[in-house]
Chains A and B, each alone.
Chain A
Amino acid sequence: MKRLVVIIALALSLGLGAYVVSYAIARCTFCRMPDTQEPSSWLQQEFHLSDAQYSQVKKLEVDYHPHCVEMCDKIKQSHLALKNLILANRGMTPEIEAALQKEGAGQAQWRADMLRHFYDVSQAMPPDEGKRYLYMMEAQVFEPTSNALAAPH
């Protein structure tokens, strides 16, 4: 009976030890997690970028970010103005039409800017990876919220 207990205890402890060690090795090697504080670190992992390529991409991101924030504010203001106009009226008015046109023009502008940024980033990547990146990102140009809302569960 003692022998049985010893062997089971040994199997359990070695199995658990193997789990802990293998998990740590996997997380340090082929399952390395991207930096959660740095959104663009995902690019380096996903598209296998070298340090030089990643720093170039990072520079592009840094240059693009203020513009993105500015666009974000413009879109917010435009949405709010349109929303207020829609709720303030009981029918279609020239003001609403003008606000809709402004909204459309704003959307076309940010789409063009975003696409320009995607092209710049893809050119900083190896050709095949750049192509894959563009393929992944073009959905954002057509359906902006599709990927952003598809958070994993």
Chain B
Amino acid sequence: MNPEHDQRLKALLRDWQPKADLPPRFESEVWHRIALNEERRSSWLNFDWLLQVTCQPRLAFAIVAIAILLGTGLANLQALRSYHHEMAASKVRYIQSVDPFAKTFLTSNQ
């Protein structure tokens, strides 16, 4: 690099004064936002994330859809469990109705 050019560039940079109109209390506002962001990130258990999620229609819809799917799935599971339980009990009832020994044994042991 040409040393003469380098010195001219340095002098130019020294003289350069950018003219930007910053809003009042710009610096303190920036620090405030950084601090707020740090605070939110550190405590995600305060459900702020949920607040943010529900502000997005797609995610809010997904929450409702998952609740419906969960309700349907749990209901089917519960119905199947009751069904198997009831069928097993009905089988025992049937056997007791046709097997005199089972009937005798059970009544004599009650």
Determine the main DSSP class of B at the interface with A: helix
Residue A11 at the chain B interface, CB threshold 8 Å: yes
Determine the main DSSP class of A at the interface with B: helix
A129 to B91, CA, bound (A): 15
Compute the total of residue contacts between A and B using a CB distance below 8 Å.
Answer: 158
Residue B106 at the chain A interface, CB threshold 8 Å: yes
A43-85 residues with Cβ-Cβ distance < 8 A to B are 43, 45-46, 61, 64-65, 68-69, 71-72, 75-76, 79
Interface size on B, residues (CB 8 A): 47
Residues of B within 8 A of A140 (CB): 95, 98-99, 102
Interface size on A, residues (CB 8 A): 57
A contact set with B: CB distance below 8 Å: 1, 3-4, 7-8, 10-12, 14-23, 26-27, 31-34, 36, 39-43, 45-46, 61, 64-65, 68-69, 71-72, 75-76, 79, 107, 110, 114, 117-118, 137, 140, 144-145, 147-152
